[in-house]
Amino acid sequence: MSGRQFVLLSLNGISFGALLFLLSSGFTLIFGLMRIVNLAHGSFYLLGGYVGLTLMQGGQSFWVAMIGGALAIAILGFVVERGLLLRVRGRTMPEVLLTVGLSLIFADLALARWGGDPILLDRPSQFAGTVELSGVTYPEFRLLVLGLGILLAALMWILQSRTRIGAIIRAGVDDREMVSALGINVNAVFTGVFVFGALLAGMTGVIGGVFLSLYPGADGEILNFALVVVILGGLGDLRGAIVGSLLVGLIDSFGRSLTPSLSYFLLFAPMALILIFRPRGLFGRATVD
Amino acid sequence: MNTLRLVKWASLAAVVGLTVALPYLVSSFYVNMATQMLFFGLFALSINLIAGYGGMVTLGQAGVLGIAGYGLGIFYTSYAVPLGVSALLAIISTILVAAFFGLLLVRASGVYFLMITLAQGMVVWGVAQRLTTLTGGDNGLRGIARPPFAVEYWSYYYFSLAVVAFCVFLIARIVRSPFGLSLKGVREAETRMAPLGYDVKRIKLFAFTISGTFAGVAGLLLAMYNNFFSPPSVYVKASAEGLLMSILGGVGTITGAFVGSGVFVFVTNYVSGYMERWPTLLGLIFVLTILFTPDGVVGAWQRLVWAPLLRRYGAADEAELIEVGVGGGGLLSDRDLKGSKSAIEAGSAAPSEEPSEQVEETRAGS
């Protein structure tokens, strides 16, 4: 492998990792606080992308599409949380299975509305070009995704460690009963976190529409990447989401180049190792269950 | 009481009679539906075995089923191995893969178990999709034959019936065996099993492997039925549909798996002719079942109809057993099992950790 190819594959892996982080940060936050494995997260991603598509077909810019997709899915997330998940609050299996049922419904309705052909969204005009990076010509858009990933990681870090909301969330992860005993409306916090996660997923969907394209089945594929991220990194931990995303992004990028037909299988190897030697994930906590 | 027992046996005899006489009664369309119901039911039952009896909910079982389907296809069509030998090799492959997956799962429970199985199933799907030299990729594998004595729709129906009936017989034996009871023990109170001298990891590994083997048999029947096997059969959606059948019928019951597969096959074969958005209907059925009848059709039947009947005819003990025993214990329902004397005596539904945890979490959440 030439040095140039190595740089290119690394950049691809890191920028794909950034995309995965945008998605899995919300996924892992929802789990950390609410203990809900939201298996409709992939559907949120895909629907967000499709809403962005409709907006862009209507002549809107990428940025409007991204915000529109994010807001639409935030509203959907609110409806799902208040309308359905609240009814089975605290019962792990029904919560997870409800999100499975919803993902079946969303996938079919998306197919009905947006059809079955893969669609690649246009890059934003400001980031449509390429740049030279140590001898490699690289698309600006992928660097934008990387920037967004770093920005979100920084924001979430500050949110978690420096703000009152972050303190409530951290306390909620450790001891929900105590938090509610302190007079904090835990249900409102839960809804807020769920809606925030949905918002991120919707936003990532529009970005992913440029990055990977949108098609039926993209929901399950991206969800699986997010699952591997949190299995590697540990559920419910921000650092885990960052490290897991980068690992998965890099493995996928190098795997696709080295053994295209087995790249999916390569993802499985580190996951198997983690499950055998550190079942909670790299940053997983013993208290989480 | 005797009247009730008579009713029970008479209806069982009627079901058996109908099942055997079916190809003489209805057209090939319905016989084919019944065939699908049989192997999808076996698939749902394989999920039921670990989810309903063992409390380990899987979303990757279609991946395990796919090992058998692809194994059969690859050995038979690509390497021209005789059909029977191909089937045997496919089942052996399935057992090996299921055991390997199981090894990665023994330390997990609850949602972790579910997530890991989902990822495992997706890996099988990803390999099926991309390793085109072996699997044919999106085009799948064509030319998978049925056994020479079961080529016609009716003979394949009888063939499937025989295979599935034998598997159901085995599963019924397994769940009543000491191993089956220890599996229920893992479901009810995993942490208490170790101090009692049970090797929980080994029980889980065995359960997952056995369950995977039956899923493999269902996979063989599916592949031979369609003469074809392709990635959608192993996708996470197929796993979710299997779980849907299992839950819809009633987790922790054997009849439930076939009730669930019956509804599924009815929607995919019959309703789909009249309603374009039938997958949405399936999803809705899933959501509504979880919200309103978490113990499924069979569970609701036993709880709402059969138990009151038993009580009325003076068999209150048996009725109470049903009331606490169905629905996979604390898996999906939130009924509190504590303080039920017959439940403790029955040993199958002792007060568990699961419900008390749920109570705690509900309180925290509200």
Residues of B in contact with A105 (CB under 8 A): 279-280, 283-284, 287
For residue B85, pLDDT beyond 60? yes
Q: Please give the pLDDT value at position A132.
A: 84
Check CB contact under 8 Å for A97 and B332: yes
Check CB contact under 8 Å for B130 and A104: no
Check CB contact under 8 Å for B127 and A107: no
Tokens representing B173 are 């034996």
For residue A282, pLDDT beyond 50? yes
Q: Please give the pLDDT value at position B331.
A: 57
Whether the Cβ atoms of residue A124 and residue A62 lie closer than 8 Å to each other: yes
Q: What is the mean pLDDT of chain B?
A: 85
CATH code that applies to domain B25-292: 1.10.3470.10
How many residues can be counted in chain A? 289
Report percent pLDDT > 70 for chain A.
Answer: 98
Dist CA A219 CA A47 (whole Å): 9
Which is nearest to A65 in space by CA: A50, A84, A83? A50
Domain ranges of chain A: 3-277
Residue keyed to tokens 């055998």? A276
Q: What is the mean pLDDT of chain A?
A: 89
B-proximal residues of A, 4-33, CB under 8 Å: none
List, for residues B95-123, the tens digit of each pLDDT value.
Answer: 999 999 999 898 887 788 888 899 899 88
Q: Please give the pLDDT value at position B184.
A: 87
Cβ of residue A272 closer than 8 Å to a chain B Cβ: yes
Whether the Cβ atoms of residue B95 and residue B213 lie closer than 8 Å to each other: yes
Domain ranges of chain B: 25-292, 297-365
Check CB contact under 8 Å for A90 and B364: yes
Strands A136-139 and A130-133: antiparallel
The alpha-carbon gap from A275 to the nearest alpha carbon of chain B, in Å, equals 6
* DSSP string of chain A, one letter each residue: --HHHHHHHHHHHHHHHHHHHHHHHHHHHHHHHH----TTHHHHHHHHHHHHHHHHHTT--HHHHHHHHHHHHHHHHHHHHHHTGGGGTT-HHHHHHHHHHHHHHHHHHHHHHH-SS-BPPPPPGGG-SEEEETTEEEEHHHHHHHHHHHHHHHHHHHHHHHSHHHHHHHHHHH-HHHHHHTT--HHHHHHHHHHHHHHHHHHHHHHHHHHT-B-TTHHHHHHHHHHHHHHHH-TT-HHHHHHHHHHHHHHHHHHHHH-GGGHHHHHHHHHHHHHHH-TT-SS--TT--
Give the mean model confidence (pLDDT) for residues B216-242: 95
Check CB contact under 8 Å for B358 and A91: yes
B-proximal residues of A, 113-152, CB under 8 Å: none
Q: Please give the pLDDT value at position B188.
A: 81
Phi then psi for residue B330, to 5 deg, are -90, 10
- A260 vs B342: which has the higher pLDDT: A260
Give the mean model confidence (pLDDT) for residues A82-97: 87
Q: Please give the pLDDT value at position A25.
A: 92
Cβ of residue A47 closer than 8 Å to a chain B Cβ: no
For residue B346, pLDDT beyond 60? no
Tokens representing B352 are 């568990």
Check CB contact under 8 Å for B287 and A101: yes
Give the nearest chain A residue to B129 (CA atoms).
A261
b/e string for B263-278 if b means 16 or more Cβ within 10 A?
bbbebbbeeeeeeeeb
B-proximal residues of A, 89-108, CB under 8 Å: 89-94, 96-98, 100-105, 107-108
Cβ of residue B334 closer than 8 Å to a chain A Cβ: yes
| Least confident segment among A14-28, B41-55, B140-154, B351-365 | B351-365
Q: At a CB cut-off of 8 Å and minimum separation 6, what does A232 contact?
A: A240, A243, A244, A247, A248, A270, A271, A274, A281, A282
Counting one residue from chain A and one from chain B, the pairs whose CB atoms sit within 8 A come to 163
The alpha-carbon gap from B20 to the nearest alpha carbon of chain A, in Å, equals 35
Q: Please give the pLDDT value at position B316.
A: 73
The alpha-carbon gap from A215 to the nearest alpha carbon of chain B, in Å, equals 15
For residue A276, pLDDT beyond 90? no
Cβ of residue B292 closer than 8 Å to a chain A Cβ: no
Q: Please give the pLDDT value at position B325.
A: 57
Q: Please give the pLDDT value at position B324.
A: 62
Q: Please give the pLDDT value at position B295.
A: 82
The alpha-carbon gap from A135 to the nearest alpha carbon of chain B, in Å, equals 32
Helices (H) and strands (E) in chain B, counts: 17, 2
Whether the Cβ atoms of residue B77 and residue B144 lie closer than 8 Å to each other: yes
The alpha-carbon gap from B278 to the nearest alpha carbon of chain A, in Å, equals 9
Dist CA B363 CA A119 (whole Å): 46
Q: Please give the pLDDT value at position B360.
A: 40
A-proximal residues of B, 211-240, CB under 8 Å: 235-237, 240
Nearest CB to B123; choose among A91, A93, A268 = A268
Cβ of residue A40 closer than 8 Å to a chain B Cβ: no
- B94 vs B253: which has the higher pLDDT: B94
> With bands split at pLDDT 50, 70 and 90, how would you rate the model's confidence at A59?
very high
Q: Please give the pLDDT value at position A229.
A: 92
- A186 vs A68: which has the higher pLDDT: A68
Output the CA angle B25-B214-B69, nearest 5 degrees: 85
Residues of A in contact with B245 (CB under 8 A): none
Cβ of residue A288 closer than 8 Å to a chain B Cβ: no
List, for residues B281-297, the tens digit of each pLDDT value.
Answer: 999 999 999 888 888 88
Q: Please give the pLDDT value at position B297.
A: 85
Please report the ipTM that was assigned to this predicted complex.
0.86
CATH code that applies to domain A3-277: 1.10.3470
Burial class (CB in 10 A: 0-12, 13-18, 19+), B262: buried
Check CB contact under 8 Å for B115 and A227: yes
Handedness of CA A269, A270, A275, A276 (dihedral sign): positive
List, for residues A216-228, the tens digit of each pLDDT value.
Answer: 989 988 998 998 8
Q: Please give the pLDDT value at position B1.
A: 59
Tokens representing B236 are 């996470």
Dist CA B307 CA B316 (whole Å): 8
Residues of B in contact with A268 (CB under 8 A): 119-120, 123
Q: Please give the pLDDT value at position A110.
A: 95
For residue A35, pLDDT beyond 90? no
Nearest CB to A105; choose among B108, B112, B283 = B283
Choosing among B50, B97, B111, B245, which should be mutated to test the A contact, i.e. which has the most A CBs within 10 A? B111
> With bands split at pLDDT 50, 70 and 90, how would you rate the model's confidence at A289?
very low
Check CB contact under 8 Å for B243 and A100: yes
Q: Please give the pLDDT value at position A184.
A: 87
Nearest CB to A100; choose among B59, B129, B277 = B59
HEC-encoded secondary structure of B91-129: HHHHHHHHHHHHHHHCCCCHHHHHHHHHHHHHHHHHHHH
Dist CA B98 CA A31 (whole Å): 28
> With bands split at pLDDT 50, 70 and 90, how would you rate the model's confidence at A234?
confident
Cβ of residue B362 closer than 8 Å to a chain A Cβ: yes
Give the nearest chain B residue to A93 (CA atoms).
B332
Nearest CB to B291; choose among A37, A87, A92 = A87
A-proximal residues of B, 294-313, CB under 8 Å: 294
Cβ of residue B159 closer than 8 Å to a chain A Cβ: no
Cβ of residue B54 closer than 8 Å to a chain A Cβ: no
B-proximal residues of A, 170-189, CB under 8 Å: 176-177, 180, 186-187
Check CB contact under 8 Å for B111 and A35: yes
Residues of B in contact with A96 (CB under 8 A): 57, 111, 114
Q: Please give the pLDDT value at position A281.
A: 82
> With bands split at pLDDT 50, 70 and 90, how would you rate the model's confidence at A113?
very high
DSSP run (H or E) holding B188: helix B178-193
HSE at residue A261, side-chain half, CA atoms within 13 A, is: 9
